């Protein structure tokens, strides 16, 4: 009997801002088979959690630890000098935010020669499955992912963050204005709109209700 392959543990980010997301359709510019992906802007204090919601570590500590484990694994399985690959994130020098890369092959080709398609699952703020036509940069999302170690002589040893699902808390689509943060604006001293203008006619959400995008809002 063929032994069933053990599934990689899954982890969940805090809410971040999506940059150049390909979540509803794969990017085929560099790969004809296509690749789903998103770069997520996360505050350096953001935490990584397991699927039960338990905090594991802040995002940089978590990713650096995974990189170290991948390097140790490569050294144990290969001879000679093993270099460390590039981490799956960069740090924004101006803000200190981490820009973390997640990706998922749209088509997987197995060693046996078979193929299968896959795509990330998408959910709204209440956990309802959704199929939006588009998710644009500036949307606020959480990402569920797996850590996959790799090693090649050229790239070195490192990890890929396999995108499994995204929860959309604030959806930005074509024609949507987006938030000030999505345009790169922070809080400054100066002109401030009064409450009536700021609310723009929208009632405040009840205090005990989770605020976020729900399917049907757009």
The answer, as to whether pTM is greater than 0.75, is: yes
pLDDT tens for 116-156 read: 999 999 999 999 999 999 999 999 999 999 999 999 999 99
Q: Which residue has 């209700």 as its token pair?
A: 209
DSSP strand E in 61-139: where?
89-91, 98-105, 107-109, 115-117, 121-123
What is the mean predicted confidence (pLDDT) over 159-185?
79
Tell me which of 23 and 198 has the higher pLDDT. 23
Average pLDDT value for the chain: 85
- Write down the pLDDT at residue 186: 61
């Amino acid at each position: 009997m063929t032994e069933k392959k053990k599934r990689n543990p899954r982890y969940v980010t805090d809410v971040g801002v999506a940059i150049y997301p390909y979540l509803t359709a794969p990017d085929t510019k560099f790969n004809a088979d296509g690749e789903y992906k998103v770069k997520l802007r996360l505050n350096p204090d953001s935490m990584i959690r397991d699927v039960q919601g338990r905090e594991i570590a802040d995002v940089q500590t978590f990713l650096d630890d995974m990189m170290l484990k991948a390097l140790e694994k490569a050294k144990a399985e290969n001879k000679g000098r093993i270099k460390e690959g590039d981490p799956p994130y960069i740090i924004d020098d101006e803000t200190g935010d981490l820009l973390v890369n997640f990706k998922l092959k749209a088509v997987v080709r197995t060693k046996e020669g078979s193929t299968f398609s896959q795509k990330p699952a998408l959910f709204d703020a209440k956990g309802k499955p959704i199929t939006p036509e588009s998710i644009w940069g500036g949307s606020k999302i959480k990402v569920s992912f797996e850590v996959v170690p790799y090693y090649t002589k050229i790239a070195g040893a490192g990890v890929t963050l396999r995108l499994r699902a995204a929860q959309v808390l604030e959806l930005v689509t074509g024609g949507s204005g987006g938030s000030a943060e999505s345009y790169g604006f922070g809080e400054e001293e100066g002109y401030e709109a009064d409450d009536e203008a700021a609310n723009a006619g929208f009632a405040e959400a009840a205090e005990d209700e989770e605020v976020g995008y729900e399917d049907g809002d757009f």
